[in-house]
Amino acid sequence: MSAHGGELAGERAPEVAARLRLHGQPVAGAGDRRLDAEPARETVFEIRDVAVHYGSSQALGWTTLDIHRHEVTAVIGPSGCGKSTFLRSLNRMNDTIPNFRLEGEVLYRGHDLYAPATNRVEVRRRIGMVFQKPNPFPKSIYDNVAWAPRNLGMRAGLDERVERALRHAALWDEVKDRLKQSALGLSGGQQQRLCIARAIAIEPDVLLLDEPASALDPIATASIEELMHTLKHRYTLVIVTHNMQQAARVADRTAFFALDLSGSQRVGTLIEYAPTRTLFTNPSDPRTRDYITGQFG
Amino acid sequence: MALSASALRDRAPRTAGTPLRPSGNLRRRMALSRALEAVATAAALFAVALLIDVAVTVITNGAPAISFAFLTQSANGLSGGGIANALLGTVVMVVFGAAIAIPVGILVGLFLTEVAGPRSRLAHLLEVVLDMLQGVPTVVVGIVVFGLIVVPQQKETGFAGAIALSIIMLPLIARASQQVLAVVPPSFRQAADALGVERWRTVIGVILPAAAGGILTGAILAVARAAGETAPLLLVDSLYHPNAIQLQPFGNGVPSVPMFIYTTYDLPSVSGITLAWGAALVLLTGILVANVGARLMLSRTRRRMGL
Ligand SMILES: Nc1ncnc2c1ncn2[C@@H]1O[C@H](COP(=O)(O)OP(=O)(O)OP(=O)(O)O)[C@@H](O)[C@H]1O
Ligand SMILES: [Mg+2]
């Protein structure tokens, strides 16, 4: 942490970055990628003016942002500001919530995820998710990883597939001698890595992680963070975290959400979206600055 | 803050060294709570005592009848004999009835938990129907089956008996399945959903296996209940050859243990009463074993689900 922190503090990222502002008006800078230090990236998600309501209460205000391929995008913000709502909108995990309503467009590689013809099972097949609390099935370690591939017709080379997934989730060495034992016997950190292995066993394109390390101890957290760095070479990752150091350590880009007053309702709003370094060293919005310096929420 | 702390100190008894005891209101509430605990414990003990009384009576009266011959020979009219044919008949009917009631019951449970939403009217109606069915006197079930099967066929059959038993088992199994399925952690469904696997595959591959032990428990309890049912059999399956083994439920009456007890008890011989008690002991043992087995299985399932 300290190494990363020092690096962050010592280095000034370019002032101008892809940046979005409040209340949905585009801000100069969003298109200024030529000034950005990093190369142009392929876009996986284009989120266009998305608003989410649960019944009559609005959870997420008009949000527009792009998520890039092979990057880790972090979502931070105070509790209740719509981080999970936002994340779960990216693979339609909110659909089963009664009265859930989404306006705007979520384009995944050009496909409108909420178009009537879109099949949400297929959406989730490509866009996997890891939850806050590890939720392995009450099956063996092997069967946890093999279950989805089996059910999706990827039976050929199943053993290799399971091993590969467990290796990529940095769990193989710990479990290779007890693949037939129940997954419920693993530690919390191991269970969470198993859930990551289970998610990547079907080779999704995107992995969404909702506070994947918040139930884990610092060592298990470190191993999950380590994992983010390697996984992003294969997948596109979006991670919700309460831990700003974690966002600073793992994310290429960070989106900061906060509760903003819209009429009489407090609505989760995207305040700032920028390369992580910029957001943490030189935030453009005072609310971002207050939040990352701990004066708010 | 400082004020209230000092006030508290003033009110506290100045008897350093003696243990702190509740006084006033708290003392009254604790006395009431202890009284209620005593009543509840007495009621529980009463229930246990009743069960023990039934068990002791059945064992003392029935034990003299139990022998190898009693379990392996068929009934033999006035001269006694055993309960082998009745036991086999009960097994045939219960297995047949369970073969109908278990799959249908599980499907109804799945409908209630996995298909119908929490606000589904059909699901609500179904629950009411199941509860009513559970409360219908079994003799009424017997009359209905009599009208539906026995009258058109013009004879009493083991098949009719099995159908009646399955009607008695169905609501028990459906409600038990529903309850067990409802406590399968939603995180399993979420995890499966997030893997892009269709829901019916999730039901077969994750949800049912997780609930299997509990569903089986419910099924065993229902079977144990049905095995002792007498009233419907009296109506739809009481005409059979009492001394012969009859394993073919279609077209024939099939003997059963409850009917054996009912008829043997009325025999004009002293040994008949002993035989009836013996059969009751066998029935009770079977039901007790099934219940204990079911509880063990349930605790295993709970462990598996991490509850
Ligand atoms: N299923 C739901 N039904 C109704 N309202 C909901 C539901 N889920 C979330 N909300 C509301 O939407 C708002 C955003 O919730 P969300 O869970 O997205 O916040 P969050 O940023 O993830 O918070 P946390 O950091 O505590 O996880 C909250 O006001 C919450 O009460
Ligand atoms: Mg959340």
* A contacts of B196 (beta carbons < 8 Å): 121-126, 128, 148, 152, 202, 204
What pLDDT sits at residue B281?
93
> Is B209 in CB contact (< 8 Å) with chain A?
yes
Among A169-173, B22-26, B28-32, B140-144, name the one with the lowest average pLDDT: B22-26
Interface test with B, best of A89, A93, A147 (most B CBs within 10 A): A147
Beta bridge partners of A111: A108
Q: Which residues contact B227 (CB under 8 A, 6 or more apart)?
A: B90, B94, B257, B283, B286, B287
Interface test with A, best of B180, B195, B206, B302 (most A CBs within 10 A): B195
Q: Number of helices (H) and strands (E), helices first, in chain B?
A: 14, 0
* B contacts of A91 (beta carbons < 8 Å): 194
**DSSP code string of B146-175:** IIIIIHHHTS--HHHHHHHHHHHHHHHHHH
What pLDDT sits at residue B272?
81
Closest CA to A90 of A102, A79, A98: A102
B140 — pLDDT class (breaks 50, 70, 90): very high
Q: Where in the sequence is the domain holding B124, given as residue range(s)?
A: 88-256
* B contacts of A191 (beta carbons < 8 Å): none
Nearest-angstrom CA–CA distance, B209 and B106:
12
Q: How far is the CA of B187 from the centre of ligand 2 (A)?
A: 15
- CA end-to-end distance (rounded Å), chain A: 23
Residue with CA at minimum distance from ligand 1 atom 18 = A82
What's the mean pLDDT when you consider all of chain B? 87
Q: How far is the CA of A220 from the centre of ligand 2 (A)?
A: 20
In angstroms, the Cα distances linking B83 to B93, B225, B253 are: 15, 19, 16
Q: What proportion of chain A, given as a percentage, has pLDDT over 90?
A: 53
What pLDDT sits at residue A35?
45
Contact B196 A135 (CB under 8 A): no
Minimum-distance ligand 1 atom for the alpha carbon of A57:
5
Asked, for residue B52, whether it belongs to a domain, the answer is: no
For the cut 90, the answer to whether the pLDDT of residue A22 exceeds it is no
CA of A100, closest CA in chain B: separation in Å?
15
The pLDDT tens digits of the residues spanning A24-36 come to: 333 333 444 444 4
Q: How far is the CA of A60 from the centre of ligand 1 (A)?
A: 9
Nearest CA in chain B to A137: B188
State both tokens at B29: 């509430």
Asked, for residue B73, whether it belongs to a domain, the answer is: no
Contact A121 B197 (CB under 8 A): yes
Mean pLDDT of A160-179: 92
Among A13-22, A230-239, B42-51, B254-263, name the one with the lowest average pLDDT: A13-22
Strand-pair category, A236-240 with A206-210: parallel
The pLDDT tens digits of the residues spanning A46-60 come to: 999 999 999 988 999
For the cut 60, the answer to whether the pLDDT of residue B112 exceeds it is yes
Q: What CATH number corresponds to the domain at position B188?
A: 1.10.3720.10
What pLDDT sits at residue A12?
34
Mean pLDDT of A209-224: 86
Residue with CA at minimum distance from ligand 1 atom 17 = A84
What pLDDT sits at residue B6?
52
8 A C-beta contact, residue A249 and residue A224: no
State both tokens at B13: 């008894």
State both tokens at A128: 């996997």
Nearest-angstrom CA–CA distance, B250 and B156:
9
The CATH fold assigned to A13-292 is Rossmann fold (3.40.50)
The pLDDT tens digits of the residues spanning B157-207 come to: 889 999 999 999 999 999 999 999 999 999 999 999 999 999 899 999 999
What pLDDT sits at residue A177?
94
CA of B188, closest CA in chain A: separation in Å?
6
What pLDDT sits at residue A6?
36
Pocket test for ligand 1, best of A75, A83, A267 (most atoms within 8 A of CB): A83
CA of A202, closest CA in chain B: separation in Å?
8
> Is B118 in CB contact (< 8 Å) with chain A?
yes
Q: Which residues contact A30 (CB under 8 A, 6 or more apart)?
A: A18, A19, A20
8 A C-beta contact, residue B150 and residue B236: yes
A135 — pLDDT class (breaks 50, 70, 90): very high
Among A129-143, A174-188, B11-25, name the one with the lowest average pLDDT: B11-25
In angstroms, the Cα distances linking A247 to A8, A213, A254 are: 12, 12, 7
Mean pLDDT of A4-13: 36
| Tally of structural domains, chain B | 1
* A contacts of B197 (beta carbons < 8 Å): 121, 147-148, 151-152
**Which one of A125, A131, A184 has the shortest CB-CB distance to B196?**
A125
> Is B204 in CB contact (< 8 Å) with chain A?
no
Cut 0.95: pTM above it: no
Closest CA to A282 of A6, A36, A9: A9
**Neighbour tally for B285: CB within 10 Å:** 15
Contact B117 A137 (CB under 8 A): no
Contact B305 A138 (CB under 8 A): yes
Contact A131 B187 (CB under 8 A): yes
The pLDDT tens digits of the residues spanning B26-82 come to: 888 888 999 999 999 999 999 999 999 999 999 999 988 888 888 888 887 766 788
Pocket test for ligand 1, best of A54, A57, A58, A261 (most atoms within 8 A of CB): A54
B148 — pLDDT class (breaks 50, 70, 90): very high
Q: What proportion of chain B, given as a percentage, has pLDDT over 70?
A: 93
What pLDDT sits at residue A40?
61
**Neighbour tally for B246: CB within 10 Å:** 19
Contact A135 B205 (CB under 8 A): no
> Is B210 in CB contact (< 8 Å) with chain A?
yes
Contact B187 A135 (CB under 8 A): yes
**Which one of A136, A139, A148 has the shortest CB-CB distance to B195?**
A148
Nearest CA in chain A to B192: A148
Contact A121 B304 (CB under 8 A): no
Asked, for residue B4, whether it belongs to a domain, the answer is: no
What pLDDT sits at residue B298?
80
Contact A124 B185 (CB under 8 A): no
Q: Is the ipTM above a cut-off of 0.95?
A: no
Mean pLDDT of B16-30: 81
**Torsion angle of alpha carbons A75, A76, A80, A81, nearest 10°?**
-70
What pLDDT sits at residue B83?
87
Locate the domains of chain A by residue range: 13-292
Minimum-distance ligand 1 atom for the alpha carbon of A52:
12
State both tokens at B162: 């099995």
Q: Tell me the H-state helices in B64-137.
A: 68-72, 84-110, 121-135
Q: Could you tell me the sign of the dihedral formed by the alpha carbons of B58, B61, B67, B69, in that order?
A: negative
**Which one of B191, B197, B306 has the shortest CB-CB distance to A151?**
B197
